Amino acid sequence: MAGPATVEEYLAALPADRRAVMEHLRRTIRAAAPDAIESIAYSMPAFRTQRGQFLVSYAAYKRHYSVFPASATLVAALGDEVTPFLAGKATLQFPMTGAIPTALVTELVKVRLADVGDRGDR
């Protein structure tokens, strides 16, 4: 079975309660990175810079929501703030039962923007 071709397809396939959380997460990321381009990466919604560099992706799972910043720089920069949510090297997992800490998501997107900006066009 093929994955979604667009973010709208991804969101439409979710139950209403999960879709509302994911739409809120989408708006939060968009507000922190207004020039970012939305796409689908690995069958989940993602944001890329104008130059096409990966910024973040996010997804809804059975028991949690994940944000994939894919950056050791992010973990080093936000330290104790992300530690309770860290799963693996650079994946953040937010329990399905709690609110997503939008201020933290905003901060991680800003760190990611600075991180990819420091690398230029590589």
Summarize pLDDT for 83-119 with one digit per residue, the tens. 899 998 879 999 998 899 999 999 999 999 998 885 5
* Residue owning tokens 């329990």: 95
Among candidate residues 74, 64, 60, 76, the one with its CA nearest the CA of residue 105: 74
Question: In CATH, what number does 7-118 get?
Answer: 3.90.1150.200
Say which residues have a Cβ less than 8 Å from residue 98's Cβ, sequence separation at least 6: none
**CA geometry: angle 54, 113, 60, nearest 5 deg:** 55
Give the predicted TM-score (pTM) of the model: 0.91
Spatial contact of 109 and 78, defined as CB atoms under 8 Å apart = no
Enumerate the domain spans of the chain. 7-118
Distance in angstroms (rounded) separating the CA atoms of residues 22 and 14: 9
- What pLDDT is stored for residue 36 in this prediction? 96
